[in-house]
Chains A and B, each alone.
Chain A
């Protein structure tokens, strides 16, 4: 049996004797006897390290992965520079708790301060928190920020948000008794700005995604104007990897920027751990939930980093706190920050440009196939786009035979495809041949 207890049997008995006890059972005499478990826990037999390794490999074999991937929809495969995971494995970082003792936690606190600066740089806003759980919970927290800042319970959201994000917002909104109003998309696949304007009465603000779930780049400037015109705020849900090429939330007047940080150097890992980022204008800084690292000085005048603005937080304010968040995703946050610092301004532009180039080439090649068309041909996109095809299931089944994961099939039968710098032009030809054959076979059956 594996044990991580250093003390030997003999030492344990000596320690027990020292506190006047005969057995381990004596330690638990406060627990009513009839509540105690009268048997051993019924769990699988313990494994040695070698056996554990084999077991985990057995689970991985049940997965089928490794082939080309053309699916995004909220989680994206990007190249992760080797330094990012290696530096994150410094155990001084990963085996630490939340940096409550600033003097011995300067490494983490400074890394978080740098992360916040990176997020402010990406989003063009003034202040960021030290992360929340993921993009969806960031959107839910943004909703509460809008409510707290405007003291209004009505929130508009664009139907272009990721459905998972909307689902999480709805769950939180039910608890907070908020009124959520969905703003539909136009036939061009973008948020209907006139519907935003028409619904702003009494609303705290709007939450809209850019690019949206369907890949479309939104007219964010117009959405911001409509929100502000209606005396509300705009929270922009953005994919951070796009910000090397697209306008930043601060550039188009967003008051809050939120999103899923996974594209910045975090592995897919079957959905987590990822990192939700949140940034805001100076005015809204004190409405941000969660940890915030700040700069100050010690008595000798050295620059020191601390957790600050804690009066917002649960351990001080208890039921009056702006959020209940305690542990968040600090290690993931500093990985995202490391990624951005590896890439630098040119790398961020280059990776964004490559995503745009690859996705446009893939879209063009797919649409050359008979029976495939781009759903929103007039709307600009980044690295995802929707196609209409007569039998999406057949397309993906054919691709799966070659260990290729095709676009995500949408409830209406369309397909949401994604291409990143990890996909090659050669793959596109190969994929298009398979798609073409699959559709031709179907044609024969009609």
Chain B
């Protein structure tokens, strides 16, 4: 049923209130502030009773879809189940002020230190910082290590970051923000790095290579050792984009593959909820030779076994975020790792890969599989030629999936596959969920033949239809005007 939903500003009634503060026990001091510095009018915020505010947001939430609502195979985003116990335990630390003296925040410091150690073991790295707030922030932080490393050696000409054309959009954007020139290299026909193209791209200006492994096609980069060798021999460093780490926990480690620096998305691999677009957390791990450049502060332990924050690190490239990271998110990921242990993490990765291959196998013959070999935690499929002839594209299939109760896969990415649909089931889905999803995909494929118009009209079950995005961008309305 289509329906508009009033904005909270449209529900305001003058004089209603939801707030409740104690009587002020200090004398009014507003006159201590000169009038010319004070607000001249009350803020034009809505006035609502508590019950109306609660219903507003509760009903808004019903116009949204999360992992708790259903299957969410959004490729590259690892939308696995978010355990409830972790949500309950993270707020235990809500009242700790970040500038408490270290003697009073030993618990927080110890937890972060323990988390860093566990991430080092999982990834085969020598040190981790938990400061970055999200994956892209982790990329930027990781690249700052590479920049600082070259600068420290007086190697100021290494300005080029090599990025495969299959990379996430954040990779080239992060490289530019870190001050590098981006050199894009074309992928080989099998979707992996083209070794000849890489050899031709490296040189004395190479700062490094950013790589996702498994790649954004969901395929393991079989030539990883040669790639590492080529980059290192040219004097560059190897950056690991950890977006796809969920495929390989306990199986193979980025540190052992030859990567010098990497980030993790705690909100993907380590089960913390994505919050509708954050907060995430993007810890960065490095090998020994990059430790001196890590952001301040580092958590260190003194001879009495007390943790403290070390800001006295002369070669550090500085600070990248207020305080120490998205601590609340870090706690949830910590809980996840402590719940599963080493064996459980490996079990998670194995089942993530199993589920992806199971889905890919069942979709074979219904959709095209441009790179048909054992995939890792996600697979990329495309519409058949027949579908395209009926003018049914990836976006139409996505909308038709919505009507069948699913969040669509990632669409039109990776860019190197025309009309890509990137499906990442994750390990937390049951066989029957996967079977039902495949049936839905089959049903869409059949409907293309019988009633393509119905697919073009999808979605019909949602509160609103397909938005006019062109007008939204041409004549932007980005706030309520009253």
Inter-subunit contact A5/B34 (CB<8 Å): no
B396 within 8 A of partner (CB): no
Task: Name B79-138 residues within 8 Å CB distance of A.
Answer: 79-83, 85, 87, 89, 91-101, 103-108, 110-111, 118, 121-122, 133-137
A356-B276 contact in complex given A5-B347, A297-B471, C-beta closer than 8 Å: no
User: Judging by beta carbons under 8 Å apart, are B53 and A83 in contact?
Assistant: yes
Residues in B whose Cβ lies below 8 Å from that of A396: 101
* CB of A136 within 8 Å of the partner chain: yes
Is the pair A107, B61 in contact by a Cβ cutoff of 8 Å?
A: yes
How close is A92's CB to chain B, nearest CB, in angstroms? 4
Q: Which of B63, B351, B480 lies in contact with A117, CB distance below 8 A?
A: B480
Q: How far is the CB of A75 from chain B (nearest CB, A)?
A: 5
Give the complex CA separation of A121 and B345 in angstroms: 46
Q: Given A5-B428, A95-B68, A114-B7, does the pair A344, B24 have CB atoms closer than 8 Å? A: no
Q: Of the candidates B32, B173, B257, which one forms a contact with A35 in the assembled complex, judged by CB atoms under 8 Å apart?
A: B257
A245-B462 in contact given A4-B81, A134-B321, A326-B134 (Cβ < 8 Å): no
A245 and B38 in contact, given A60-B92, A98-B276 (Cβ under 8 angstroms) = yes
B37 at the interface (CB under 8 A from A): yes
CA distance A45 to B340 in the complex (A): 8
Does A300 contact B5, Cβ atoms closer than 8 Å? no
Cβ contact within 8 Å between B110 and A43: no
Say whether A30 contacts B222, CB under 8 Å.
yes
B94 touching A267, Cβ below 8 Å: yes
- Interface residue? B17 (CB, 8 A): yes
Q: Which residue of B lies closest to A306 (CB)?
A: B467
Known: A94-B276, A247-B38, A354-B24. A297 touches B468 (CB 8 A): yes
CB distance from B430 to the nearest CB of A (A): 4
Q: Do the beta carbons of B144 and A175 come within 8 Å of each other?
A: yes
Give the residues from 78 to 122 in chain A that come closer than 8 angstroms, CB to CB, to chain B. Answer: 79, 81, 83, 85, 87, 89-108, 110-111, 113-114, 116-118, 120-122
A 346-357 to B, binary, CB cutoff 8 A, 1 in contact else 0: 111111011011
Cβ-neighbour of A94 out of B43, B275, B318 (below 8 A): B275
**B interface, over-half SS:** loop
A253 and B268 CA atoms in complex are apart in Å by: 42
> Does the CB pair B4–A44 fall under 8 Å?
no
Q: Is the CB of B402 within 8 A of A103?
A: yes
- Are B328 and A273 within 8 A (Cβ)? yes
**Quick check: which of B229-237, B246-254, B382-390 contacts chain A, the rest being far away?**
B246-254
Binary interface profile of A, 327-350, with partner B (CB < 8 Å = 1, else 0)?
111111010001011111111111
| CB–CB A319/B107 < 8 A | no
> What separation, in Å, do the CA atoms of A165 and B323 have in the docked complex?
10
Contact of B47 with A5 in the complex, beta carbons under 8 Å: no
Q: Is B423 an interface residue (CB 8 A)?
A: no
A260 within 8 A of B: yes
Contact residues, B44-61 vs A (CB, 8 A): 44-48, 50, 53-54, 57-58, 60-61
Q: Which of B345-378 touch A at CB < 8 Å?
A: 345-348, 350-351, 353-355, 357-358, 361, 373-374, 376
Question: What is the chain A residue whose CB lies nearest that of B395?
Answer: A101
Query: From residue B172, how far is it (CB to closest CB) to chain A in Å?
Result: 4
Are B275 and A405 interface neighbours, CB within 8 A? no
* A 11-30 to B, binary, CB cutoff 8 A, 1 in contact else 0: 11011101101001011111
CB <8 Å contact, A104 and B407: yes
Q: Which of B217-266 contact A (CB under 8 A)?
A: 219-220, 222, 224-225, 248-253, 256-257, 265
Residue numbers in B under 8 Å from A198 (CB-CB): none
Among A49-57, A180-188, A223-231, A435-443, the one that faces the other chain is: A49-57
Which chain B positions have C-beta within 8 A of A425?
Answer: 25-26
B328 partner residues in chain A, CB cutoff 8 A: 267, 269-270, 272-273
Verify A361–B27 contact, CB threshold 8 A.
yes
B residues within 8 A CB of A167? 296, 318-319
Q: What residues of A have a CB within 8 angstroms of the CB of B153 in the complex? A: none
Report the bound CA distance from A151 to B320 in whole Å. 24
Q: Mark A243-282, 1 if CB is under 8 A from B, else 0.
A: 1111110010000000010000001111111100000000
Q: B89 touches which one: A52, A330, A357 (CB < 8 A)?
A: A52
- Residue among A60, A297, A353 making CB contact with B93, cutoff 8 Å: A60
- Nearest CB of chain B from residue A312's CB, rounded to whole Å: 10
Q: Does B408 contact A (CB under 8 A)?
A: yes
Which residues of A from 115 to 150 have beta carbons under 8 Å from B?
A: 116-118, 120-122, 126-128, 130-131, 133-137
Asked whether, in the complex, the Cβ of A327 is within 8 Å of the Cβ of B44, the reply is no
Does chain A have a CB within 8 A of B193? no
> Is the beta-carbon distance between B37 and A380 smaller than 8 angstroms?
yes
Question: Contacts A27-B354, A81-B19: A113 and B478 contacting too (C-beta < 8 A)?
Answer: yes
Report if A394 contacts B (CB, 8 A).
no
Please state if A97 and B177 are interface contacts (CB–CB under 8 Å). no
CB distance from B165 to the nearest CB of A (A): 10
Docked Cα-Cα span, A121 to B12, in Å, equals 15
Question: A101's contact among B101, B407, B428, by CB below 8 Å, is which?
Answer: B407
Complexed CA–CA distance, A256 and B373 (Å):
51
A60 and B274 in contact, given A15-B431, A360-B32 (Cβ under 8 angstroms): no
User: Can you name the residue of chain B whose Cβ is closest to the Cβ of A299?
Assistant: B465
Residues of A within 8 A of B257 (CB): 35
Contact call B62/A92, Cβ cutoff below 8 A: yes
Q: Is A177 an interface residue (CB 8 A)?
A: yes
Q: Are B21 and A63 in contact (CB under 8 A)?
A: no
Say yes or no: B340 contacts A3, CB within 8 Å: yes
> Which A269-328 residues sit within 8 Å CB-CB of chain B?
269-274, 285, 291-300, 302-306, 308-311, 313-321, 323-328
Closest CB-CB distance, B421 to chain A, in whole Å?
A: 13
In whole angstroms, how far apart are the Cα atoms of A168 and B178 in the complex?
13
Q: What are 18 inter-chain pairs, A to B, with CB distance below 8 A?
A: A4-B271, A14-B431, A15-B358, A19-B361, A30-B219, A91-B68, A91-B82, A96-B65, A102-B467, A104-B407, A106-B462, A268-B95, A269-B96, A299-B465, A302-B465, A324-B136, A344-B46, A380-B37
Per CB-CB distance, the 9 closest pairs between chain A and chain B, nearest first, are A271-B323, A107-B64, A331-B275, A41-B342, A46-B341, A95-B66, A271-B98, A273-B279, A62-B107
